């Protein structure tokens, strides 16, 4: 996939415009508490990064990071710290959930924390695809969080 050339300037501009319009609209969604552009100097060589604070039921508040790269938008949400107990059952639960999540995947990140990740090719960035991606993250968090926490913190599994 890295062998393909980056999208041309028109595709990149259209994707950026679609993302900005969607972020403006998403700021008004009932499930979105805040949309903030990351203004950290020197943070990335690729492009913009945005933070969405999402309100949920299973997990009250969580964050979705959206970052622009040369060929795609990257999405990432912190899910949980590493499990304190029942690690085997905890990870089995998340791996099984990976089979039913739409275009998002549970993965292990820094310090063994669990994240949800996804990518969207710049050629496919549109209002509908961005809404679908947000919905996929929301559904994955809502569906998996309660069981993951029970497994991770249960005293006898």
The CATH code of the domain at 9-153 is: 3.30.1460.10
Q: Is the confidence at residue 111, as pLDDT, over 70? A: yes
Domain ranges in the chain?
Answer: 9-153
Torsion, Cα of 80, 86, 92, 98 (10° steps): -10
pTM of the predicted structure, to 2 decimals: 0.90
Contact between 119 and 2 under an 8 Å Cβ cutoff? The reply is no
Q: How far is the C-alpha of 125 from the C-alpha of 17, rounded, in Å?
A: 10
The pLDDT tens digits of the residues spanning 21-58 come to 999 999 999 999 999 998 776 555 467 899 999 999 99
């Amino acid at each position: 996939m890295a062998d393909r050339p980056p999208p041309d300037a028109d595709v990149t501009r259209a994707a950026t415009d679609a993302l900005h319009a969607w972020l403006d609209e998403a700021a008004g969604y009932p499930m979105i508490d805040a949309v903030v552009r990351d203004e950290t100097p020197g943070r990335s060589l690729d492009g913009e990064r945005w933070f969405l604070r999402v309100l949920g039921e299973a997990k009250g508040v969580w964050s979705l990071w959206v970052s622009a790269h040369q060929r795609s938008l990257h999405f990432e949400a912190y899910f949980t710290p590493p499990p304190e107990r029942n690690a085997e059952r905890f990870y089995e639960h998340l791996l099984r959930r990976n089979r039913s999540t739409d275009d998002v995947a549970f993965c292990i990140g820094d310090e063994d924390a669990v994240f949800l990740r996804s990518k969207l090719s710049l050629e496919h960035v549109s209002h509908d695809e961005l809404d679908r991606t947000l919905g996929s993250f929301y559904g994955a968090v809502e569906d998996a969080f309660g069981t993951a926490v029970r497994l991770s913190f249960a005293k006898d599994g």
